[in-house]
A and B are shown apart, each in its own frame.
Chain A
Amino acid sequence: MAYDPELDEPLSGDDSASREPRERDPRDGQCPYEVFAQFGGSERPITHQGSVRAAYQDLAWHAAKEAYTRRENCSLLWVIPRTAIVSSTEEDEVVLQTGRRLGFRQPAYPGRLRRSRTESPPDGSRGT
């Protein structure tokens, strides 16, 4: 972006960044940002790395880049305000334990009532 001190204003290019204050997102700066990053290629899941604190979401992204992606090749980097996260609590533990609660979703169901798979049909037609 060229700048002529004589004219005291930029000659060309988008000058909104230098003139107007950036419109503040109400979520900025009110909470830490959780950092998610994907390392080692797009087949890998994006995983939680930790958190950063910053005044604005853009600064949070750069802080996350500095703190969490300095050593490995990162293919994707997210920062998410902690207040945006909808989380389970200790009370939800029961409803989240599907394996124990919903037996009919497990392969071994219905347990002792299941017949043996080695059992043949009564007319001996198995294996034809």
Chain B
Amino acid sequence: MASASAPRTVRFETSNEGGRLDRRYELWDTMPDGYREAAARIASFQALAEVVGVLPFAEWVDRVPDFMRRQMLVAKVQDEVGHGHVMARVAEDLGVTREQILEDYLSGESKLLNIFHYGFETWEEVGPGALLMNSAAIVQFQSLHGGTYLPYSRALRKIEKEESFHYHHALDLTHELITRGSPRQRALVQQAFDTWLPRLLAYFGPPDGDKVQDNAMYQFGLKVDSNDVLRQRWLTRIIPVFEDLGVHVDPSLVHFDEERGEWWYTEQDWTAIKRLIKHGGPRTQDWTGHIRRSVEDNRVYRDAALQAVAV
């Protein structure tokens, strides 16, 4: 393992080369050129992701087969919308309004990551799907938390605490389905894992190229760790969890490469993923439709409230 230990350090640890993470900024500090816009972009992207990401779960609220699970799902949905609000405030302070965030989404101007184009086909899919998504989000937020824009870091700290609740609910649900579920339910859990794992592998973005240092977000210290570092950290945490649950992890999909000291995973088709992000997937129309209807239906209340303030 001696020869593998050097690459392992680069793969898993946060790199502060050039001191890009040293200088932190508050809202009122003087920022380098382009920094404010980059911080606004990262915050508004996350605000949108929280709100759209809740829709596959909100859809199941009326169909949860168990009252306790419904309560837990409603709590999760409320939390996510709350996270959207908290993030929207960060973006708003940087000059991007809520209206702008939603309009850019509906016009197709802003693109969400691959997982936001799917939904859950069965109840059995919700547990493992949520477990994969939540663990990935937690790894990502824990990384971004160390970034240079402090209001965003603080918002993430609050969000992280609640995400860990969601993680435990998802873990409990998956465990219940496996230990108490019928053979068909167990098969559906396995199928859900096999379906969602590749999507979450792609969630962290394309493999790091040579140009990872040139990325503006990375240079500003807003993006703290590269895609590969996060993906490796996530796999280290989540694959053993599924193995412990009794889910079969296909080695041809992902396995730990002892020689290289890192996780190997099957190559994702980045052309197809980019096409999905650009043109949409199975549920894109449903989610944009839901947001569009919500914006339209609530316009009268929003206008009234804004008018009352302006008078």
**Residues of A at under 8 Å CB distance from B?**
28-30, 32, 49-53, 55, 63, 66-68, 70-71, 87, 89-90
Q: Assess the A55–B309 pair: CB atoms within 8 A.
A: yes
Cα distance, A89 to B193, chains bound together (Å): 51
**CB-nearest residue of chain B relative to A28?**
B309
Contacts of B272 in A (CB 8 A): none
Given contacts A70-B78, A90-B30, contact A52 B85 (CB under 8 A): yes
Q: Assess the A55–B89 pair: CB atoms within 8 A.
A: no
**Residues of B at under 8 Å CB distance from A?**
28-30, 78-79, 82, 85-86, 89, 92-93, 154-155, 158, 161-162, 165, 305-306, 308-309
**CB-nearest residue of chain A relative to B79?**
A70
Q: Assess the B89–A49 pair: CB atoms within 8 A.
A: no
A21 to chain B, nearest CB (A): 9
**20 A-B contacts (beta carbon < 8 Å):** A28-B309, A30-B309, A32-B89, A50-B86, A50-B155, A50-B158, A51-B89, A52-B89, A55-B306, A55-B309, A63-B85, A66-B82, A70-B78, A70-B79, A70-B162, A71-B161, A71-B165, A87-B28, A89-B28, A90-B30
Given contacts A32-B89, A55-B309, contact A49 B82 (CB under 8 A): no
Q: Assess the A90–B29 pair: CB atoms within 8 A.
A: yes
Q: Assess the A50–B29 pair: CB atoms within 8 A.
A: no
Q: Assess the A53–B158 pair: CB atoms within 8 A.
A: no
B305 in complex: contacting residue of A30, A52, A55, A70, CB < 8 Å? A55
A28, A29, A49, A51: residue with the most chain B Cβ atoms closer than 10 Å: A51
Q: Assess the A55–B308 pair: CB atoms within 8 A.
A: yes
Contacts of B78 in A (CB 8 A): 70
Going nearest first, the 9 A-B pairs with the smallest beta carbon separation are A29-B309, A55-B309, A67-B82, A55-B305, A51-B89, A67-B85, A50-B86, A67-B86, A55-B308
Q: Assess the B79–A50 pair: CB atoms within 8 A.
A: no
Cα distance, A84 to B211, chains bound together (Å): 46
B89 in complex: contacting residue of A50, A66, A87, A90, CB < 8 Å? A50
A53, A66, A67: residue with the most chain B Cβ atoms closer than 10 Å: A67
A30, A32, A66, A71: residue with the most chain B Cβ atoms closer than 10 Å: A71
**CB-nearest residue of chain A relative to B305?**
A55
Cα distance, A55 to B162, chains bound together (Å): 27
Q: Assess the B158–A49 pair: CB atoms within 8 A.
A: yes
